[in-house]
Amino acid sequence: MYRITKANEIAKNIFLFDVEAKRVSEFCLPGQFVIVRSDKDGERIPLTICDYDREKGTITLVVQVVGASSLEISKLKEGEFFEDVVGPLGRPSDLCEMSKEELKQKKIVFVAGGLGTAPVYPQVKWLHEQGIGCDVIIGAKTKDLVILEDEMKKVANNVFVTTDDGSYGRSGMVTKCLEDLVAEGHEYNHCVAIGPMIMMKFTCLTTKKLNIPTIVSLNPIMVDGTGMCGACRVTVDNEVKFACVDGPEFDGHKVDFDEAMKRATIYKTVEGRAYLKAKEGATHHGGCNHCGGDE
Amino acid sequence: MDMMKRIPVREQAPKVRATNFEEVCYGYNDKEAIDEATRCLNCKKPKCVEGCPVNIDIPHFIEHIKNGDFVKAYETITDSSTLPAVCGRVCPQETQCEGKCIRGIKGDAIAIGKLERFVADYAMEKGLKPSVQKEQNGKKVAVIGSGPSGLACAGDLAKLGYEVTIFEALHKAGGVLIYGIPQFRLPKDTVVQKEIDNIKSLGVKFETNVVIGKSLTVDDLFEKEGFDAVFIGSGAGLPRFMGIKGENANGVFSANEYLTRSNLMKAYSGESTTPIMIGKRVAVVGGGNVAMDAARTALRLGAEVHIIYRRSEKELPARAEEVHHAKEEGIIFDLLTNPVEILTDENDWVSGIKCIKMELGEPDQSGRRSPVPIDGSEFDIDVDTVIMALGTSPNPLISETTKGLETNRRKCIVTQEETGQTSREAVYAGGDAVSGASTVILAMGAGRKAAKSIDEYLSSKS
């Protein structure tokens, strides 16, 4: 059991938890993730590590309510427990493996879409601790869904917020913001884009045009997170990779996003579940109560 | 009573069991067990013992059954085996102990597996525990993985007085016994959990949710956690795929994923929040025990199920009993058939599987006749789910993070055959992590062998 030392709703339906997970906190690096279960019947849910405190033995997780399991997690309060937290899983960010000299050559822009702001934060913070500055674009649908802006400002050179509806910061998608920044004279030679699959896909199309190498962090369907199930397989540069052990970060210009997006639908999206129901007919039981029988 | 004929074991009727996850085989009752035990010839030179990877004193325990002394029978078995309730159910007895049985030459071999199971179940019912440990000797051993090899190794070391901690990557202990083998073949709460509780009662500590190679390294176990020796029993968890077109379509799963969802996450039951795609028609590719398990799971979830296997029935690597059960339950066997492409619909979900007919050619390295495709014989099978059960390989997470740990071309950890010692001092390994995907009993045997070597090593050090 893993005690929750802090639980906050930081934006509508987005929850932040500090959780005691000593082994994870001691060994994790930016880019890695954990798998959690809220209770003994819970689904295994992969979550990127947003922050960690090696002394207190805690890690910070951010969860957005998208389905039954994340709804259960969102109900957890300070002083309560996660049934399971396992990690750190996946490979640390490539940035963590570069030398200071290499890092100093980089003019890095992070592109964070929605909840993707959470996994971007530890990378920016880590760079800051190494004395490396960078710029961050935070994109959100609307003002109320912008998260971690203040925290990010403390560790980034510049933070540019853009909202789809123009309710806060700049107006428009992150891709527009990135193009505008480059047009305004900002120079970047390394981009890290983390967020919804569709946002990463279009960011990569943009950075390809702008000739900026781009790393993305994928969060596909997973069960064990240790390379055992293969549910998370993605095609990168025409090769099949397992996101849990080979990733989660990959060269964004080589990821087959269309396939990855289709694979992400199977149990997760309304369309995917409806399609599954139609295909399965009599054997369909709502993905085992997962979607309540798709009523 | 015809001494040549085996006492039949009661089973759930195929039509009934095809719709539920209850155990297929009910096992013997007292009388049936005694009757079956009476058939044993009590050979002077028992071949069955030679056939058993852990050399259980088989004639002796059967004699105790014959005399109605089931407690003594249990003690005899647990002298050599850590997991009798499991092995009595999942060992390939027909090629091991029972395969060597002298009775089997002219009649039916003694049902040694069923008798072992009977004794183990009797012990569980009566709450018998394996004999308790000696005094603690103050030395610490870390066991990586809580599957059959790890449990066996830990159990033996605890009995010798070592302080043993098992590290398990998943949230539940048991390894393949929990995530891999289905409920209807190996009940989880009434059998596996009880065997694990027995190991716990010997003083073994379990720490779940620790991925060695990620949460901690093997070196950390020595340097930071103060262990004196390490046993690696991390199994063979990496699934293989065929590399054919369409394999990443929605509806294609590894057997590992399918079985883990159903077994570990209990997606087969209504209580689970973990989804599983069932489909109307399912193709399982492969012919081993895992293929049978996946097929019979899909069948119980309501699908029509095809096993697609490239050789003929004779070469099926699965246990004869599993194949027999699968057929009885209505699994369709498409033999001498090999997939060449997975067909998809406009949304990239599986819509069928294109196969080619095979014929058997010359024997290959394994001695089995190798299958050769018949030109122009392609045909489609209409399915919406495909499960790949093509075997597994060891997970490289540990070998990649442990300096000086030698592995072979297949990523298996290299050990000394007799001792289980790896290329690193004080590090031992056994089970599928060393052999590649194999059986529960061989893994258990390797775990016990390593326990003995670890004891010798640590005793010689002090």
Q: Do A245 and B278 touch (CB under 8 A)?
A: no
Cite the beta strand spans of chain A per DSSP E: 2-11, 14-20, 33-37, 45-53, 58-64, 81-82, 84-89, 108-113, 135-140, 158-163, 170-171, 190-194, 214-217, 233-236, 239-242, 249-251
Domain enclosing residue A182, as ranges? 94-217
Same domain membership, residue A14 and residue A27: yes
CA distance B295 to chain A (A): 15
CA distance A86 to chain B (A): 5
Residue A67 pLDDT level (bands cut at 50, 70, 90): confident
Residue contacts between A and B (CB atoms, under 8 Å): 153
> Hey, is A219 helix, strand or coil?
coil
Name A113's Cβ contacts closer than 8 Å, sequence gap at least 6: A139, A140, A174, A193, A194, A195, A196, A199, A200, A203
Q: Which residues of B touch A245 (CB under 8 A)?
A: 397
Give exposure, B430-455, as e/b (b: 16+ Cβ within 10 Å). Answer: bbbbbbebbbbbbbbbbbbbbbbbbb
Q: Where are the domains of chain B?
A: 14-126, 140-236+394-461, 238-392
Greater model confidence, B141 or A284: B141
Evaluate whether B140-236+394-461 and B238-392 have a shared fold. Answer: yes
Decide if A186 is inside a domain: yes
At A163 the pLDDT is: 95
Same domain membership, residue A156 and residue A112: yes
- pTM of the predicted model as reported, rounded to 2 decimal places: 0.91
Architecture of the domain whose range is B14-126: Orthogonal Bundle (1.10)
State yes or no: pLDDT of A295 exceeds 50. no
> Hey, is B274 helix, strand or coil?
coil
Helix (H) or strand (E) holding B59: helix B58-66
Whole-angstrom distance, CA of residue B447 vs CA of residue B39: 32
Domain of A64: which CATH number? 2.40.30.10
Decide if A9 is inside a domain: yes
Are B255 and B286 spatial neighbours (Cβ–Cβ below 8 Å)? yes
Strands A170-171 and A158-163: parallel
A251 strand-pairing partners: A215
Give exposure, A241-250, as e/b (b: 16+ Cβ within 10 Å). Answer: bbbbbbbbbb
Structure token pair of residue A2: 């893993």
Dihedral pair phi/psi, residue A6, rounded to 5°: -155, 140
Closest chain A CA to residue B253: A231
End position of a domain, from candidates A64, A89, A114: A89
Determine which of B218, B258, B260, B274 to mutate to test the interface with A (most A C-beta atoms within 10 Å): B274
Q: Which residues of A touch B270 (CB under 8 A)?
A: 285, 288-289
At B184 the pLDDT is: 95
Dihedral pair phi/psi, residue B429, rounded to 5°: -150, 160
Q: Do B208 and A279 touch (CB under 8 A)?
A: no
User: C-alpha B146: how far from its chain's center?
Assistant: 13
Same domain membership, residue A197 and residue A109: yes
The answer for B313, left when phi > 0, alpha when psi is -120 to 50, beta otherwise, is alpha
Q: What is the mean pLDDT of residues A118-126?
A: 96
At A273 the pLDDT is: 65
Residue A275 pLDDT level (bands cut at 50, 70, 90): low
Structure token pair of residue A87: 């990690």
At B269 the pLDDT is: 81
How far, CA to CA in Å, does B88 sit from each of A243, B83, B115?
A: 38, 8, 7
Name B428's Cβ contacts closer than 8 Å, sequence gap at least 6: B153, B229, B230, B231, B232, B415, B419, B420, B421, B422, B450, B453, B454
Length of chain A: 295
End position of a domain, from candidates A57, A89, A121: A89
At A81 the pLDDT is: 96
The mean of the pLDDT values for chain A is: 90
Where are the alpha helices (H) located in A115-235, listed in sequence order? Answer: 117-129, 149-155, 174-183, 197-210
Q: What is the mean pLDDT of residues A222-251?
A: 93
User: Model ipTM?
Assistant: 0.88
Structure token pair of residue A35: 């798998």
Q: Which residues of B touch A266 (CB under 8 A)?
A: 250-251, 277
Closest chain A CA to residue B277: A287
At A268 the pLDDT is: 64
Q: Which long-range contacts (CB under 8 A, 24 or more apart) does B320-326 make?
A: B320/B94, B321/B94, B322/B185, B322/B289, B322/B292, B322/B293, B323/B292, B325/B14, B325/B24, B325/B292, B325/B296, B326/B292, B326/B295, B326/B296
- CB-CB: which of B210, B248, B268 is closest to A235? B248
- CB-CB: which of A227, A267, A280 is closest to B237? A227
Structure token pair of residue B175: 């390894």
Residue A272 pLDDT level (bands cut at 50, 70, 90): low
Q: Which of the listed CATH numbers 3.40.1410.10, 3.30.420.10, 3.30.70.360, 3.50.50.60 matches domain B140-236+394-461?
A: 3.50.50.60
Decide if A126 is inside a domain: yes
The tally of domains found in chain A comes to 2
Question: Of the candidates A114, A3, A118, which has an alpha carbon nearest to the alpha carbon of residue A66?
Answer: A114
**CATH homologous superfamily of domain B238-392?**
FAD/NAD(P)-binding domain (3.50.50.60)
Whole-angstrom distance, CA of residue B212 vs CA of residue A265: 32
Whole-angstrom distance, CA of residue A224 vs CA of residue A220: 12
Residues A165-217: pLDDT tens digits?
999 999 999 999 999 999 999 999 999 999 999 999 999 999 999 999 999 99
Q: Which residues of B touch A280 (CB under 8 A)?
A: 277-280, 384
At B157 the pLDDT is: 94
Same domain membership, residue A203 and residue A98: yes
Question: Of the candidates B86, B114, B101, which has an alpha carbon nearest to the alpha carbon of residue B7?
Answer: B114
Same domain membership, residue A112 and residue A65: no
Q: How far is the first Cα of chain B from the last one, in angstroms, to the nearest whole number? A: 58
Domain of A158: which CATH number? 3.40.50.80
Q: Do A262 and B347 touch (CB under 8 A)?
A: yes
Q: DSSP state, B9?
A: P
Q: What is the mean pLDDT of each run of 10 residues along chain B (462 residues)?
A: 92 94 95 96 94 92 97 92 90 92 95 96 90 81 97 92 96 95 94 93 95 95 97 94 95 95 86 84 96 96 95 92 95 97 93 96 84 96 96 92 93 94 96 92 92 95 75
Decide if A112 is inside a domain: yes
CA distance A80 to chain B (A): 18
Q: Which residues of B touch A27 (CB under 8 A)?
A: 214-216
Q: Do A226 and B237 touch (CB under 8 A)?
A: yes
Q: Which residues of A touch B280 (CB under 8 A)?
A: 279-283
Q: Do B272 and A289 touch (CB under 8 A)?
A: yes
Same domain membership, residue A116 and residue A84: no
CA torsion, points A19, A23, A24, A26, in degrees to nearest 10? 110
